[in-house]
Amino acid sequence: MDGEYIKGGQQVDTRSYPTALSGLCSKHTWQLDRRYTTLTSRVGVSDDTPSGHTITFYVDVEGARKKELTMSPGDSVETVSLDVSGAYRISLGTDGCTYADQRGRGVWIDPVLVKAR
């Protein structure tokens, strides 16, 4: 079962980000009703993630994987930008729950959807 995202600040690569969604093994689906054109978000791994662990970020559009990125703690924040024109539903996911230590989070920083005109 997919976990829930936590809304609020997180620390990534020694910098605080006040507006974020974070989770260890989380997925959430939004219904866009084909009203948006672009998804943009920065992503990174929270500083409290144990060394040597990885977290995979992914974006599914209509149930098909369109973007996937694997990161470790200390990696620089990266930007994810994806054309979602015509999409009915999208899902943002993080997967890092293959280890017993449940510390650390994948962080979606300031996710934004641009509305179609």
Q: What domain range is 72 assigned to? A: 6-115
Query: Which has more pLDDT, 98 or 39?
Result: 39
pLDDT, tens digit, 9 for 90 and up, residues 84-100: 999 999 999 999 876 55
Residue 71 lies in a domain: yes
Is 91 within a domain? yes
Q: Is residue 1 part of a domain?
A: no
CATH assignment at residue 74: 2.60.120.1060
Q: What is the pLDDT of residues 10-24, one digit of tens each?
A: 999 999 999 999 988
Q: Judging by beta carbons within 10 Å of its beta carbon (0-12, 13-18, 19+), is residue 66 exposed, middle or buried?
A: middle
pLDDT(31) > 70: yes
CA distance 106 to 69: 11
Q: Check residue 97 and give its pLDDT.
A: 73
DSSP string, 9-53: -EEETTEEESSEEEESEEEEEEE-TT-EEEEEEEEEEBTTSPTT-
pLDDT at 2 over 60: no
How many independent structural domains does the chain possess? Answer: 1
Using CA atoms, how far apart are residues 73 and 106, in angstroms rounded to an integer? 9
Question: The pTM is what?
Answer: 0.91
Q: How far is residue 45's CA from residue 55's CA, in Å, rounded to a whole number?
A: 7
- What was the pLDDT predicted at 44? 97
